[in-house]
Structure 1
């Protein structure tokens, strides 16, 4: 199973510990469109685990509604476009959001993860201003 498919499957199963194990110890996760007050960069697997700890309490992701993976001229870099659907736990509102992620993978682990999603687009559905 390709790494992005495995990662998305773990999100659907709410297995955040398993998801985080796909990352190298010194991996870097970047969120270029982070909401004010939220991290734009996380360094290391432990920081990512802390950041994602409450994710299943916020979002009940139930399906990958769409997915396309683009290979690049660099064999370590892929670009994944996907759409996740589910329910916001606190509000019980439907959740559906598109993501674009640039992955750098070496030795079977994610080394760099740039996540181009819009936290502001889901503020209302989560019931949290500015996420």
Structure 2
């Protein structure tokens, strides 16, 4: 990706990398000072990661926890700020530790500057995984 990559294109590419389980390439889409926020994170889960290194550490074992199969719904909305998009999406797959189905809807607010993610606010429903919270919290 280049500095002129549009936020929509960068985001679509990021989803492809997650499906390919190429976490190092996904991390490469982040600015060194990028901020990853989880406003609805349950107790014991991170609410804010500051910097590319913190995001990398958080995502390091992601494919060992969640085996993503598809994003069957992705709707990207432009905002009045050209560098920021709002994404409605659904990810499906399975939880590696239990084999249980994984089906999560998200809304993400993503800001891209100079072809890199500078801020990603991930609004997901913690109630959907509340019964699995202990499993994940021990993994993060």
TM-score normalised by L of structure 1: 0.92
CA distance in 2, matches of 1:45, 1:38: 18
Aligned equivalent of 1:62: 69
2:41 is equivalent to residue 34 of structure 1:
yes
Runs of at least 5 residues in structure 1 that lack an aligned partner in the other structure: none
Runs of at least 5 residues in structure 2 that lack an aligned partner in the other structure: 1-7
Cα deviation code 1:69-103 (max 9, x no counterpart)? 00000001100111001011011111111011101
Specify which of 94, 104, 113 is matched with residue 97 of structure 1: 104
Structure with more relative contact order (C-alpha pairs < 8 Å, separation 6 or more):
2
2:22 is equivalent to residue 8 of structure 1:
no
TM-score normalised by L of structure 2: 0.87
Alpha-carbon contact 1:36-1:130 (below 8 Å) kept? no
Q: Which runs of 4+ in 1 moved over 4 A?
A: none
CA distance in 2, matches of 1:58, 1:95: 10
Secondary structure of 1:91's aligned partner: coil
Q: Go from structure 1 to structure 2 and tell me whether the alpha carbon gap of 1:129 and 1:90 turns closer, same or farther (over 3 Å shift).
A: closer
CA distance in 1, matches of 2:70, 2:133: 21
CA distance in 1, matches of 2:13, 2:56: 17
Secondary structure of 1:128's aligned partner: helix
